[in-house]
Amino acid sequence: MTSSPTSSPSPAGAPGNPHRPLRRLTARGRGEAHRVASPLELFFDLCFVVAVAQAGIQLVHAVAEGHAGEGILNYAMVFFAIWWAWMNFTWFASAYDNDDALYRVVTLVQIAGVLVLAAGISRAFEDHDFTVVWLGYVVMRLAMAAQWLRAARSAEGRARAAALRYAVGVLLCLVGWVGLVLLPEPARPWWFLVMAIAELCVPIYAERASMTSWHPHHIAERYGLFTIIVLGETIAAATVAVKSGVDENDALGELLPITVGGLLIVFSAWWIYFVVPIHGHLRSSRQAFVWGYGHYLIFASGAAIGAGLEVAVEQAVGKAHISTLSASAAVTLPAALYLLTVWALHSRHFKVGITEQLVLPTGALLVICCTFLGNWAVLAAGIVSALTVAIGETLTARTAFGRLKARVTTPAG
């Protein structure tokens, strides 16, 4: 459920009329009640998933043509730019969103930037030309720096220092990213690694001055919503691929196992992510950093599952120039990575005993083993994923029932 612009509470500390076109960009309270995603944030997510879809399409083409290594590298680089810009906005908005006219305009500029980035993804994959991707990233990051400078203007003391550190860090990294355009092609992956580490260090350095007042429930909701959008894009991409295969090749028999298995994988991916309320775990900046940064793997692997399903469909109808083993791996490997990452960031904090803890890691290992089952690999991986969810839920319910039974049978006093 989202709040409307006219009904949402005004940010903590915002002076005067909450509906004024321009207001001070002051920090919101971490204990603010009924904090939910705004319509602008939902629009922001939907526009960002356009770039995610473009990255997935190019990954499909690269893997289907037998250039998996190069495609995965380009996908990792482009997806980092998308994810990092999205994540920076999300945490900033959780702490400072005052929903005035200027804030909205700057956010729309960021949306324009990701659309420019999305337009350059095909050129980055096919021609190794990252100029348009870089320009889109520049637009997004300049807008982000402007937001932090505006927050610094309204803040005082350590909060002001933190906001300035963010702004300066974003701008310095932006200068460094020029190397991705100017350096020789063999040096670009190494330069990307250096700059990615530098970007990741900016929030760590800034938060040492003062922890921003992000809202745990709001952050958990925002990440959950983006996970839903990514999984939805995965289903949409797979559906289009299956439809194309049936219409052009009349290959329903070959595609049915992939379709059923793909749905089971995506349904299981949704289930294990949302089975526990994670916002209660986000109590400190240290926990939040590990959790927030770790979602790069969740989002990237979730989107890659859809790309893998497309590859599997193309291989089944003879359009991909790769083996059945490679096509199966395109689905099973990202699915296993998703299971492991969700376990590491979410599930392990709510599991009791070694048996419960091992369910998801074991399921991930079995999904990888399904890679070698030929044309039935995707279906088998889907069944394993669904069984992993069912077994995990059964063990959790049994533990909860045992606790309740012990509580009831224990004599009072």
SS (H, E, C) the chain: CCCCCCCCCCCCCCCCCCCCCCCCCCCCCCCCCCCCCCHHHHHHHHHHHHHHHHHHHHHHHHHHCCCHHHHHHHHHHHHHHHHHHHHHHHHHHHHHCCCCHHHHHHHHHHHHHHHHHHHCHHHHHHHCCCHHHHHHHHHHHHHHHHHHHHHHHHCCHHHHHHHHHHHHHHHHHHHHCCHHHHCCHHHHHHHHHHHHHHHHHHHHHHHCCCCCCCCHHHHHHHHHHHHHHHHHHHHHHHHHHHHHHHHHHCCHHHHHHHHHHHHHHHHHHHHHHHCCCHHHHCCCHHHHHHHHHHHHHHHHHHHHHHHHHHHHHHHHCCCCCCCHHHHHHHHHHHHHHHHHHHHHHCHHHHCCHHHHHHHHHHHHHHHHHHHHCHHHHHHHHHHHHHHHHHHHHHHHHHHHHHHHHHHHHCCCC
Q: What average pLDDT score do residues 142-168 get?
A: 93
Give the pLDDT confidence score for residue 212 in this predicted structure: 87
Give the pLDDT confidence score for residue 284 in this predicted structure: 61
d(CA 142, CA 221): 26
Q: How confident is the model at residue 400 (pLDDT cuts 50, 70, 90)?
A: low
CA–CA distance from 224 to each of 80, 271, 299, 352, 364 (Å)? 18, 12, 10, 24, 21
Closest among 244, 270, 264 to 255, alpha carbons compared: 244
In sequence order, what are the residues at sequence separation of 6 or more whose Cβ sits closer than 8 angstroms to the Cβ of residue 82?
A: 48, 51, 52, 55, 114, 117
> What global pTM score does this model have?
0.87
Give the pLDDT confidence score for residue 3 in this predicted structure: 36
Encode pLDDT of 341-395 as tens digits: 998 887 777 776 788 788 899 999 999 999 999 999 999 999 999 999 999 888 7
Q: Which two tokens stand for residue 125?
A: 């994959």
Q: What average pLDDT score do residues 60-79 get?
A: 91
Give the pLDDT confidence score for residue 380 in this predicted structure: 96
In sequence order, what are the residues at sequence separation of 6 or more whose Cβ sits closer than 8 angstroms to the Cβ of residue 54?
A: 118, 121, 122
Q: What average pLDDT score do residues 133-149 get?
A: 95
Encode pLDDT of 217-260 as tens digits: 888 899 999 999 999 888 888 888 788 777 777 667 778 899 89
Give the pLDDT confidence score for residue 97 in this predicted structure: 87
Q: How confident is the model at residue 411 (pLDDT cuts 50, 70, 90)?
A: low
From-to residues of CATH 1.20.1410 in the chain: 217-408
Give the pLDDT confidence score for residue 131 in this predicted structure: 93
d(CA 173, CA 15): 34
Q: Measured between alpha carbons, how far apart are the two ends of the chain, in Å?
A: 43
Q: What does the mean pLDDT of the chain come to? A: 86
Query: Regarding the domain delimited by 217-408, which CATH topology (the fold level of the hierarchy) does it fall under?
Result: I/LWEQ domain (1.20.1410)
What percentage of the chain exceeds 90 in pLDDT? 56
Q: What average pLDDT score do residues 62-72 get?
A: 90
For residue 1, pLDDT beyond 60: no
Give the pLDDT confidence score for residue 16 in this predicted structure: 41
Q: How confident is the model at residue 20 (pLDDT cuts 50, 70, 90)?
A: low
